Structure 1
Amino acid sequence: MRLSRYFLPVLKETPSEAQIVSHRLMLRAGMIKQASAGIYEWLPLGFKVLRRLETIIHEEQQRAGHIPMLMPVLQSADLWKESGRYDAYGPEMLRMKDRHDRDMLFSPTAEELFTDVVRSNVTSYKDLPLTIYQIQWKFRDEIRPRFGVMRGREFLMKDGYNFDLTKEDALHAYNRHLVSYLRTYERMGLQAIPMRADSGPIGGDYTHEFLVLAETGESEVFYDSEITDLTFGDREIDFDDRGQCQAVLEEFTSRYARTDETHDEAVFANVPEARRRVARGIEVGQIFYFGTEYSEKLGATVAGPDGEKITLHMGSHGIGVSRLIGALIEANHDDKGIIWPEGVTPFHAGIVNLKQGDAATDAACEGIYKALVKAGLDPLYDDREERAGAKFATMDLIGLPWRITVGPRGLGNGVVELTSRRTGESEELTPDAAVERIKAIYATVL
């Protein structure tokens, strides 16, 4: 993309309503614009990052054997009345009536809809196990929306639901989700720690939240510092291998890590003092096993091997896609702007032309741009008639991981400058070598 043809309304001043870093930088970088309290317009740069995250989530969900679909954002209240949650959910649920005076609601979550789909279409134990999921917009009418996309009223969420014959099968689905989430977050460049948590209004016996450590986190967290040394890495997991999934789960949950709702000071005291940590965290996902709670209320059953009626065991598994962007920025920024990890960056590299209109410089930039596009990458070429300082400031603000700077002086020596946004380190390379370096970096990421 050529920046002269792109819509990138960056701001020089920090909006007064922005209270935390991610909100300030998303507004300044032209990623979002507030439409009303807690509701945002996703501008092109922000929308590109959303799509990057969605792609990773879809790939990892389907790697784990989960099946995508899509539910409506507007739901009939009938199913919620049937489950008993219509009145119990509280004022966060946005209720409305259609023109026929029927009770409707804007989906805050989708357990009822997914359970209804399964009870209407799955009749035999032979159809199980089944995990289906969606990435869809949700709405919860927060009384005090704040912190930009971190606590908005409208948000994009991946929600998945497993349906199993037994508790043992459902707990394997729980373990499978934990492993797939660890891989998902690592691909995004995040370390999200699974922590034992409170199940909240959704209910359930087993639940872990995934939290990213950040000073602006809404939750106080307590953990053993050893857990931050764990990585999923390149290990290959057979998601049908129950023992393998269980081993990964135990590796990542055997060390103390809890939110303030479930913190146990007596248990925490057993962690060696040098490894005890108290911090704040941002929730970016949660997994639940809640047994037969919804299937009993909504009559989700199948015929077993001997024809007997079996009530399905269920779990739900969510990732806050839009709030993930806020978490990523909180964990990856400096005083100049955002620092995107390679896995989620909106553009893979920025190209800065230091002397627009100079024949040699223009030609070198065009050559680099076309070579990166031919390699399947997505560069952003700053071809504007603008000062060099302003171009550098824009690139730093929007946070592309790599910048190739092209100017007459360097080209006179046959080189361009390749700069890492994260470290600030630069090196001089030939234009072809700079392209090859960028290709090699993303060969291990994409």
Structure 2
Amino acid sequence: MTIQRPKGTQDLLPGTIEQWQYLEDTIRSVCREYGYEEIRTPMFEATELFQRGVGQTTDIVKKEMYTFLDKGNRSMTLRPELTASVCRAYVENKLYGQPQPVKLYYIGPMFRYERPQSGRFRQFHQFGVEVLGADQAIVDAEVISLVWNLYRRLGLVGLEVHVNSVGCPTCRASHREQLQEFLAVRKAELCNDCQERFERNPLRILDCKNPSCQAVTAGAPTTKDTLCADCSTHFARVLDILGRAGVVYRVNPRLVRGLDYYTKTAFEVMVEEIGAQSAICGGGRYDKLVEEIGGPPTAGIGFAMGIERVLAALQVQDKLPKKEPKLFAMLIALGEKAQTEGFALLNALRSQGLPAGMDLLGRSLKNQLKSADRQGARYALILGEEELARNVLVIKDLSLGEQREVPLTDAVEEINKNYQRGV
């Protein structure tokens, strides 16, 4: 029986991994420009962190977490998201003692047990940013503008930023009362999950993707209807800054996001034609989360985007870079002595940062030239018994079909000159 990879996971092979590297390199470049620093946290955490941080009523905690008992009988969970972990690291490492705000980003795998489908995996990868220690509206705008400018850098088009305010605990209490009153007469029409949410967290009902629940909540009171003066002013300020910065947005009063920790600003970036759902980024403010997991009162905001989903959008829109040649030069050594001498030459080229390879199977000249062409090499470096006897190397330009001889002692310098000139 052949062992296969677990359902909902994928192997990232050469030919595909270069696309990931391109996206990750662009992400790191944009984060540097915005002054964000990378953080890496453990792949697993104490289960309580996600129960308290993400929320007991969320689908993530109730249905999707990979949770296990370790050998010390402690409940551990593979991280389903990273905001709670970053906040835990912020508290544990006393980052609140540094100059604020602390601006962090991460790239890495997450784990959720859900039904695999287009754009959704059980092991998936996220890029996200978190800003801790600042509650000003301009911070919200910076976080949204970072992801907006990242997508523009990547060349994506047809994007929409949906933005809303879910309020604070004070004004959300009023919305909760109004929403429960609206839904009470139609509670039986809600799905089982939403009937449970009715008492514990009715706001989450607005986030349900079940068509029957969406029909029931049509016309329901939104958080925008009940914002207090402070939340309303904050939201208006966010929108004003985004508009002046040229970020195209749409206010979506039904946008509440699926996690319990959000306060005030919530947002998603949407793009069509990538399967399942059209969101390729989501985030918002979470001013109570750090305190909830045992830290000092600390404002926070961030977002996460699925690497797989962004790559799918880039693929659909034909925005991925074209495949680059693997090698600049391919050494074709004919015979053991030529292999030995040629390997030293190859090592000298590689030590100067020049991508070069050689045949390792002792194939014929014809087959080695075919291999060099398949790998996109610009030059074939031919070394056989005759060339060794004359102490020369044949440099063949595979794009022009021209070749010339150079003394072996000058070969490294000559090849490197061509590489530096890009010819």
TM-score (norm 1): 0.51
The Cα shift of 1:82 comes to 1.7
**Separation in 2 of the partners of 1:366 and 1:418?**
23
**Separation in 1 of the partners of 2:245 and 2:337?**
61
Specify the alignment match of 2:301 in structure 1: 314
Q: Residue by residue, what CA displacement relative to the aligned partner does 1:280-330 show, whole Å, maximum 9, x if unpaired?
A: 45999636333536357557655xxxxxxxx5031124462x777788888
1:288 is the counterpart of 2:288: no
Specify the alignment match of 1:178 in structure 2: 147
Specify the alignment match of 2:379 in structure 1: 404
Aligned pairs (5 A) from 1:282-431: 286=281, 288-292=283-287, 294-295=289-290, 297-298=292-293, 301-302=296-297, 311-318=298-305, 320=307, 331=318, 340-341=323-324, 347=326, 349=327, 351-353=329-331, 356-357=334-335, 367=345, 369-370=346-347, 372-386=349-363, 402-407=377-382, 415-419=395-399, 426=400, 428=402
- The alpha-carbon distance between structure 1 residues 144 and 165, as it changes in their structure 2 partners (threshold 3 A), is closer
Residue 196 of structure 1 aligns with an amino acid whose one-letter code is: E
**Separation in 2 of the partners of 1:192 and 1:371?**
41
Specify the alignment match of 2:79 in structure 1: 107
**DSSP-derived class of the 1:384 partner:** coil
CA RMSD of aligned residues (A): 5.3
**Separation in 1 of the partners of 2:315 and 2:359?**
23
**DSSP-derived class of the 1:71 partner:** coil
Total equivalences in the alignment: 311
**Separation in 1 of the partners of 2:86 and 2:158?**
25
1:436 is the counterpart of 2:417: yes
**Separation in 1 of the partners of 2:334 and 2:166?**
61
Q: How much identity, in percent, do the aligned residues show?
A: 15
1:163 is the counterpart of 2:158: no
- The alpha-carbon distance between structure 1 residues 281 and 152, as it changes in their structure 2 partners (threshold 3 A), is closer
The Cα shift of 1:143 comes to 1.5
**Separation in 2 of the partners of 1:389 and 1:177?**
52
**DSSP-derived class of the 1:75 partner:** strand
Residue 116 of structure 1 aligns with an amino acid whose one-letter code is: R
**Separation in 2 of the partners of 1:169 and 1:178?**
15
Residue 41 of structure 2 aligns with an amino acid whose one-letter code is: M
**DSSP-derived class of the 1:85 partner:** coil
Which has a greater percent of strand? 1
**Separation in 2 of the partners of 1:414 and 1:301?**
69
| 8 Å contact kept, 2:112–2:123 | yes
Which of 43, 55, 60 is the equivalent residue of 1:73? 43
Unaligned stretches of 5+ in structure 1?
Answer: 1-32, 206-245, 262-277, 303-310, 420-425
| 8 Å contact kept, 1:38–1:152 | yes
**Separation in 1 of the partners of 2:123 and 2:335?**
45
The Cα shift of 1:171 comes to 2.4
**Separation in 2 of the partners of 1:350 and 1:171?**
46
Q: Residue by residue, what CA displacement relative to the aligned partner does 1:87-110 show, whole Å, maximum 9, x if unpaired?
A: 413433222233455433211211
**Separation in 2 of the partners of 1:156 and 1:332?**
20
**Separation in 1 of the partners of 2:288 and 2:295?**
10
The Cα shift of 1:390 comes to 6.1
Which of 45, 61, 65 is the equivalent residue of 2:31? 61
- The alpha-carbon distance between structure 1 residues 357 and 287, as it changes in their structure 2 partners (threshold 3 A), is farther
**Separation in 2 of the partners of 1:101 and 1:84?**
23
**DSSP-derived class of the 2:132 partner:** strand
**Separation in 1 of the partners of 2:73 and 2:294?**
27
**Separation in 2 of the partners of 1:438 and 1:404?**
10
TM-score (norm 2): 0.53
| 8 Å contact kept, 1:353–1:362 | no
Unaligned stretches of 5+ in structure 2?
Answer: 168-240, 256-270, 405-410
The Cα shift of 1:392 comes to 6.9
- The alpha-carbon distance between structure 1 residues 168 and 373, as it changes in their structure 2 partners (threshold 3 A), is same
Q: Residue by residue, what CA displacement relative to the aligned partner does 1:153-195 show, whole Å, maximum 9, x if unpaired?
A: 2244433311242232422531563377359xx6xxx534482
| 8 Å contact kept, 1:350–1:382 | no
**Separation in 2 of the partners of 1:434 and 1:327?**
40
**Separation in 2 of the partners of 1:56 and 1:339?**
15
**Separation in 2 of the partners of 1:113 and 1:296?**
13
| 8 Å contact kept, 1:417–1:427 | yes
- The alpha-carbon distance between structure 1 residues 324 and 414, as it changes in their structure 2 partners (threshold 3 A), is farther
